[in-house]
Amino acid sequence: MEIVPMTVPDTLEGAYVLSVVDFFLSIVIIWAISLVLYLLPYLNKLGDVTDESLKGGH
Amino acid sequence: MNINAPMPGKIISIKVNVGDSVTKDQVLLVMESLKMENGIRTRNEGVVKEIFVKAGEQVQTGSPLVSVE
Amino acid sequence: MIEQFLGLLLALVDQTGLMSITPGNLLMIVVGGVLIYLALAKKYEPFLLIGIGFSCIVANVPGSDLTAPGGLFHYAYSGLEKVIIPPLIFLGVGAMVDFGPMIARPSLMILGAAAHAGIFIAIILAKATGMFTIAEAGAIGIIGGADGPMAIFVTMKLAPHLLPQVAVAAYSYMALMPLIQPPVMKLLTTKAERSIEMTQIRHVTRLEKIVFPFVIAIIVNLLLPPVAPLITMLMLGNLLREVLMVERLAKTVANDLMNVITIILTVAVGSTMAAETFLTFKTLLILGLGLIAFIGGTASGVIGAKMMNWFLKDKINPLLGSAGIASVPIAARVAHVVALKENPYNFIIMHAMGPNLAGVFGTAISGGIMLALLGVK
């Protein structure tokens, strides 16, 4: 069996497929992004960036 | 007992003075956060002992606002 | 002599639009007037509705070529057609918004996706009417994302002829969210649930806030190319804000540039509201489906939050779910106000900002996947 990339057909069934796949995938992707954000606090082990050291650009 | 800022924002107005008696759920001051004005109340009755902020001041979450004894 | 004079006069009248004005034009001029009235008298989104209403009126006065190809307003529309305007708005939004509340509590991000089931309810219903293609249904569904620039972006890629209907529905319902959302939220929650107080969110450091835009921009460009222009610009704007060093640039994109783009956007949207395309039964259907999408999204967000509570030890206030709808910060404010009514000590605005900001990504991700599934680059 060969799997080729395809798009959703323009039918009511297509709308169901689009909706289910899109809703499910968006939950998965946003969950994956949230997992990445859990890693951000570990950056603070590298050191501290103070607001004062950044302010005053030209 | 200190009443702290529940969110970051700006103090709009202070409704009480040091020495005032306040009742439970009375609004002590009004602060603005994300363009919404919110009344900050006291859960206890008592006397206002100290006010830590001025109108117009920017506060962070947890900043002490008013002390009620 | 008199005949000659009348003949000249007639030729002059022919030059004007007087002879070609239709009842539809008159009705649309009234519609434009209503938008202006809502803006001025009711203070509903005046920054958007004044420009849209004005150019809607002008677009329906026949005669000039203002909205025809080559006309001045048509160039404003070209900014939408070439999808340049929506990413520039996102640049400004990025420079205005502090993503701290979202970074502080990533677990609530999922609500930003959960609150978008309304998009899909509307797509299925639109397709079920038999009156729309699936691409049109997608554009109608994205109204439920409650994100103006995103709705315009997706519509311009899927069904540009529906732009006026989608834009008007999205912006009007966003203005009406304080009326649309609370009944749905109250119906799906108990008083005890609405009174749940949340624990303080952690402090997010400057370093995290600076790294955040890079992380998101890389992920989105990698996984969701169709919406990369929007999110990339959102993250660039946010970076300008968070580095603190280029305050002048951050302020310019958040204020001056944003204002310029808003004028162009509103002119462009209003100028597409010509009677012959706007006054159709489909417009009514789209407005109805858009409302269903908003209600559905609010409901699915609240239900999503309640489902999260099945697994959480520290329960979250389910009203946060309704804030998962993208329009920042309207949805978070609505959640805050509803919670405050139950308990005057429960200030959930900052907690609600987390899902609310995640909602921006939720809409963008849903839109990006939709474009990909429909084969649009």
**pLDDT value of position C199:** 85
- Which pLDDT band, with edges at 50, 70 and 90, does B34 fall under? confident
User: Residue C124: which of A19, A47, A51 has the nearest Cβ?
Assistant: A19
pLDDT over 90 percentage in chain B: 75
Find the helix or strand (DSSP H, E) in which C213 lies.
helix C206-223
Q: What is the mean pLDDT of chain C?
A: 94
Distances (CA, A) of C46 to A11, B37, C49, C50: 39, 21, 5, 6
* pLDDT tens by residue, B43-67: 989 999 999 999 999 998 889 999 9
| Subunits in contact with chain A (3 or more CB pairs closer than 8 Å) | C
* pLDDT tens by residue, A9-58: 999 999 999 999 999 999 999 999 999 999 999 999 988 888 888 886 55
What angle do helix axes C85-96 and C148-158 make, rounded to 10 degrees?
Answer: 160
What is the domain count for chain A? 1
Tokens 């999408």 belong to which residue? C293
Specify if A36 maps to a domain.
yes
Average of pLDDT values for C319-348? Answer: 93
Q: How far is C122 from chain A (nearest CA, A)?
A: 10
For A15, the domain range is 11-41
**pLDDT value of position A58:** 55
User: Residue B7: which of C333, C337, C349 has the nearest Cβ?
Assistant: C349
Average of pLDDT values for C162-168? Answer: 94
Q: For residue C178, list chain B residues with Cβ-Cβ distance below 8 A.
A: none
**pLDDT value of position C376:** 87
Residue C371 has pLDDT above 90, yes or no: yes
Specify if A31 maps to a domain.
yes
* pLDDT tens by residue, C194-220: 999 988 888 999 999 999 999 999 999
What contacts C50, CB < 8 A, 6 or more positions away? C36, C39, C40, C266
Domain range annotation of chain C: 19-373
CATH code for residues B2-68: 2.40.50.100
Average of pLDDT values for C309-322? Answer: 94
Q: Kindly state the DSSP code that residue C246 receives in the 8-state scheme.
A: T
Residue A6 has pLDDT above 80, yes or no: no
**pLDDT value of position C5:** 87
Domain range annotation of chain B: 2-68
Residue A5 has pLDDT above 80, yes or no: no
Two tokens at B27?
């609004």
Task: Please state, in angstroms and rounded to a whole number, the distance separating the CA atoms of residues C245 and A50.
Answer: 12
Residue C259 has pLDDT above 90, yes or no: yes
Specify if A19 maps to a domain.
yes
Does the domain spanning C19-373 belong to CATH 1.20.1530? yes
Average of pLDDT values for C38-45? Answer: 89
Q: How far is A1 from chain C (nearest CA, A)?
A: 21
**pLDDT value of position A25:** 96
Contact A23 C366 (CB under 8 A): yes
pLDDT over 90 percentage in chain C: 85
Contact A22 C114 (CB under 8 A): no
For residue B9, give the chain C residue with the closest CA: C350
ipTM of the complex: 0.90
Average of pLDDT values for C183-193? Answer: 96
**pLDDT value of position C12:** 84
Q: For residue C347, list chain B residues with Cβ-Cβ distance below 8 A.
A: 6-7, 33, 38
